[in-house]
Amino acid sequence: MKSPRSRSALANFSIALLGLCSACSATSRPTDATIDDAVIDVSAAVDHHRPDQTATADAAPDALPADGKIVDAAIDSAVIDAAIDSAVIDAAIDSAVIDAAIDSAVIDAAIDSAGGDTAVDSIVVDAAGADGATADGGATGPQVSTLAGGASSGSTDGPGSTARFDNPANVVHSASGLYVADYNNGTLRKITINGTVTTLTQQQNFSAPFALALTPNGTLYASTDGNDLGQETYGQTGTLWQIDTITGLATVVLRDIGNPRGIAAISDDKLLIVDPSHHTLRILTISTKSMATIAGSYDQAGDIDATGAAARFNTPYDVVIDSQGNFYVADQGNHKLRKVTPGGVVSTFAGAGSAATKDGSGVTAQFDQPQGLAIDKNDTIYLSELAGHVLRRITSAAVVTTIAGDGTAGFADGDRSTARFFGLEGIDVSIDGATLFVADGNRGGSDPYHRIRQIILP
């Protein structure tokens, strides 16, 4: 987001540049003007756990990017007395990053004063923000990069490249940073805007956190596989907690609610919860601590489009809500994306029902174990595919495309089409819709994958 301070700095820079150019045109000057000692600095951005995957060679995580405040200034129709030599101008003004394009060209401008050369020294441009993209939408760094973590497990706080996780399972994005469910460590972590990892929640009997959700008023909720009494039985002792985002204190909302793996906020007082162990979609009213099943039937797996208890899911894993109040469920065992109206009417939104990775529209597309879901402000849905090892995008018209991953389990940053992922259990999209965050852990196994990845969206 552009700040008023950055805009002001850019305006002053533009006025000064035009003034220098006017002075240049009125006096004689050397024919070759150069900018001495300019510095170029283009930044690169960035449950059922299944241990039966083959580990691949690992690579060191990328360095963390800058803070993402990017100003993209187009300075048109100005008379510039400058030598343009196809280099990139770098300018750091008032702590804001400026990507200056003059008449659609990138320039290394020689600015002359009367009677001689005036060198513009030590001007720095960082054209990429924290997500590796410029403000005009062009990616300058890797399309897929590591935000934090690495091959080795641990619980170290610090800058992203030195921080460590132990099987991060889920993420949720907020205006102040990214919250991470660090499953094996039994903690909630936070990655701040500047890329620093800290431990937010670590307390007795808060174990195996997985699902995360933020309500409209910014309240954070998390589910754990164990309860606050120290009991942990998969599929039974799942517990919902409210998290104080300042102190990290976790307070029990409701214990022993099955196996909540996906949570989405309908309102500040209502949460939508999917339970893959019991094949249901339920609504929790927080103020009364009451649960009501909106679709599916307890312990009845199947694949039936119908209303309410007559509908069937098979291991529903995550859920998101669109701007019209409709729910979308990653129906993992049926290899489909299901749509549920607020009245409980269930239909198949996308996916043929057979396991494969195939782009297409509606039921002509195919998924291979869909799991994590995220949705942006335009109702575009993102889906992680466990067995396919790819990330998919589904438009509001149900058009499905593959946006990242080459289909091989492992780790590789770089271009979206050649990147590799392993865990893919939880994802979320940034508030501006430009970046997809991926919890890329090891699914509870011993493989060397403990990272938070980020994808610059096409």
CA terminus-to-terminus distance, the chain: 18
Nearest Cα neighbor of 315 from 235, 393, 249 is 235
What percentage of the chain has pLDDT greater than the value 70?
69
Torsion region of 98: left, alpha or beta (phi above 0 gives left; psi -120 to 50 gives alpha)? beta
Residue 159: helix, strand or coil by DSSP?
Answer: strand
- The model's pLDDT over 409-457, given as tens digits with 9 standing for 90+, comes to 999 999 999 999 999 999 999 999 999 999 999 999 999 999 999 999 9
Query: How far apart, in Å, are the Cα atoms of 381 and each of 392, 396, 429?
Result: 8, 8, 9
pLDDT of residue 140: 55
Rg (CA), the chain: 25
Contact 91, 156 (CB under 8 A): no
pTM: predicted TM-score of the whole model, two decimal places? 0.72
Please give the order of strands across the beta sheet that includes 239-243: 209-214, 220-224, 239-243, 250-254
- The model's pLDDT over 118-168, given as tens digits with 9 standing for 90+, comes to 322 222 222 233 333 333 333 457 899 999 999 999 999 999 989 999 999
**175 against 124, higher pLDDT:** 175
- Say which residue the tokens 């109702």 belong to: 379
- Say which residue the tokens 């099955």 belong to: 258
pLDDT of residue 195: 86
pLDDT of residue 43: 32
The letter for the amino acid at 406 is D
